[in-house]
Amino acid sequence: MTGIKEIIQSPVFAKQKKKLHKGQIKDLDKVVKAIVLDPTTGYLKAGDLQGIRVHKFSSKNRQFLLVYETAGPVLFLYTFGSHENFYRNLKRYAQQ
């Protein structure tokens, strides 16, 4: 059992999730549950994005990237999206 006790969604994550179809929301929820069970499942980023993790998953024949970070018992869900311009937009979000 992991030490994750709380999950916090960023406003960007919550807004993007509302725009998904029901099937995609179910797939996203499965991925979040898998991350709660094993927070080290994603790839640890370096450089400008140091300290965050990116997990790749598929939903309805589309590949998505989910960005998250763990701090003790808290899981922060920052954003997700398709690969196109994803890291550029993530760097902009991280600088704010």
Query: Is residue 9 in some structural domain?
Result: no
Please, which residues have CB within 8 angstroms of residue 26's CB and are 6 or more apart in sequence?
none
Q: What is the mean pLDDT of residues 2-19?
A: 90
Q: Tell me 45's DSSP state.
A: P
Report the pLDDT value the prediction gives residue 17, as an integer from 0 to 100.
Answer: 94
Domain range holding 90? 20-95
- Sort strands 43-44 and 6-9 into parallel, antiparallel or unpaired: unpaired
Q: What is the pTM of this model?
A: 0.86
Query: Is residue 7 in some structural domain?
Result: no
What is the distance between the alpha carbons of residues 72 and 68, in angstroms, rounded to a whole number?
13
Q: How many domains does the chain have?
A: 1
Query: Is residue 26 in some structural domain?
Result: yes
Query: Is residue 15 in some structural domain?
Result: no
Query: Is residue 81 in some structural domain?
Result: yes
Report the pLDDT value the prediction gives residue 75, as an integer from 0 to 100.
Answer: 94
pLDDT in tens, 24-49: 999 999 999 999 999 999 899 888 78
What's the length of the chain?
96
CA dihedral sign, ordered 1, 81, 10, 92: positive
Report the pLDDT value the prediction gives residue 29, as an integer from 0 to 100.
Answer: 95
pLDDT in tens, 61-82: 889 999 999 998 999 999 898 8
Query: Is residue 10 in some structural domain?
Result: no
